[in-house]
Amino acid sequence: MIDQTVYDAISNAVVTVPGVISFANCSAKSQSEIKTSDIKNAVEITSADNIGRVKIHIILINGVNIRDVVNEVQIRVKYELEKLNQFVRNYIVDVAVDDLEII
């Protein structure tokens, strides 16, 4: 069971990144189920020893530089999670872009 503060730290870091519209449901079975406001459906967390691995599923605005947005999400989430654990634990952050939306 993951602590709610971890989910909050991830959410707060991701929503501030320009170009991210929403979290994506990693277990969606159809196009209509992809967009989600529940971060627990969009984050997969695994741990081993001193390293935590986080995979975040997001939806981006069509036309943004995907590499730049994904890189910014990785940097912000990694920093926030390591800060939350007083930098005694390392994190690997993977970002999956599940959809692009035209605005």
List pLDDT tens digits, range 78-90: 999 999 988 888 9
Per-residue pLDDT tens for 11-66?
999 999 999 999 999 998 988 899 999 999 999 998 877 889 999 999 999 999 99
The pTM for the full model equals 0.92
Task: Please report, for the chain, the start and end positions of each structural domain, with discontinuous segments joined by +.
Answer: 4-101
Buried (b) or exposed (e) across 27-63, using 16+ Cβ within 10 A? ebeeeeebbbeebebbbeeeeeeeebebebbbbbeee
Q: On the CB side of 103, how many CA atoms lie within 13 Å of its CA? A: 10
The predicted pLDDT at position 87 comes to: 85
In the three-class reduction of DSSP (H, G, I as helix; E, B as strand; rest coil), residue 60 is classed as: strand
Check residue 1 and give its pLDDT. Answer: 59
Fold of the domain spanning 4-101:
Alpha-Beta Plaits (3.30.70)
